[in-house]
Structure 1
Amino acid sequence: MDTTIKVDSRTRDRLAAVAQAQGTTMRSLLAEFAESTLTPEELKERAERTRAFLETEFGHRVDDAESGHLRARMRAAQTAHRDALRAAGIGDVA
């Protein structure tokens, strides 16, 4: 079943440009995004599997404080990467 997703024209144009650059359609681009993006529940399950793996394989138990610290470091790294792209004139990145 097909449906319509309403977005502003700037978002629509950007999606169209990304799809064209990748040689695909906006429909396929959005479908790929939906399939490759984890839901909050999937993220939680993955985190629990990772914690269990680290404990089983390496004897390291990641507690909530360490997990929060690692998340903060990842956010900082992502922000720095986005800022570097913007500074290089790559464009308006999310």
Structure 2
Amino acid sequence: MATPEAQLVENDVLTWEEVPHADTYEVTIEIEGQEPRVIVVEEGTELDLSSLQPALTPGTYSVTVVAKSNSPLYTDSDPSEEVTYEVPVPVVALA
């Protein structure tokens, strides 16, 4: 299958083009020193990274998307090019 082209819009929403014959999309979120987090998107072609539960900890993440098919006629796509996603450290205002 074709490789998805992923991009961030509105800072926190990962989007990608629909891939013909794809039934699901596997989004992998990686940060150095931690196990990768894999999220399967069954409907649509976007994922709001800021609304994940549990929330991502502050840091810089590499995010990729793989198109997957339930049909034995199609193999998984190659991962998309990495998208960098930054989770800032919360700023606490002192009164």
TM-score > 0.5 by shorter chain = no
The one of the two structures with greater contact order (alpha-carbon pairs below 8 A, sep at least 6) is 2
Structure having the higher helix fraction is 1
Which of the two has higher C-alpha Rg?
1
Structure 1 or 2: larger strand share? Answer: 2
TM-score (structure 2 length as normaliser): 0.20
Query: TM-score, length-normalised on structure 1?
Result: 0.20
